[in-house]
Chain A
């Protein structure tokens, strides 16, 4: 990986800036702090299942029977999803979060946005954090028009603001007359486009994006990326959770690598992405 670094005059540039992406990569003129995450822990309670008790061989018959019942009655397991993560973020930073499935990326994002109660630690933030995504507020039986109002209000806009932005939202989503049909009649692509158009109508201080860019056709993906860039210019800080390292490399200046609920690495985008790639690669040929 080291030998691909350019030599000579270019050495004083930012290392490995993706040439396909002219988006401003903040780094030189970082502002003040926008977020402090101090030793955050998140514990989920999961109902209806319990991990099997440790080695059953030497247990008595009674104990084994008891263990078996335990899996069906009072089966509540505490899952430690985030175990002591700390970092600070500054205005103008775009931070990617990478990690394997179930490593706690989305949980961390929601906890930092103040949407999941913490079981330990504290988060300090300037302004309000917002998660890009209104899916949960929308009702599939109602028309797109009605859902634009519901979604906009859910995001904290006033009714007047939603009405002002209505045309822009419809135009951006590109769904045309279908806005008068119930959302359940939409194709999955149309639904995703309308949802993205609604949720990106608000302009938060800290924006959290959870894999929202993977939807829609190529043209819509390009448009939505442009929209994200716009939001980033206005939002102080942006977080992007993605499995696509290409997306992270093209949009972020800094990356957090989460593994088993802990912060494994925190640093410049290419350094962390390379290390992460190195980490995931050898697993495939093994065995």
Chain B
């Protein structure tokens, strides 16, 4: 599973990355987490409000940071 965290690098993006990492690890997923920080790359994924979470190319959420528990639900869906 490919998890991408979109955001220009503010505190919220780092927090989303941390929560997503916790969520994926507690589900025991085989995943790869990366950060997308350049604005053109963010826009190319169809996202304009950050931080955003993209899983295997699908935008799962944008604009807020849920708890890792709630991210687990998004990863399973």
Q: Do A and B bind each other?
A: no
Which residues in A have some Cβ–Cβ distance to B below 8 Å?
A: none
Which residues in B have some Cβ–Cβ distance to A below 8 Å?
A: none
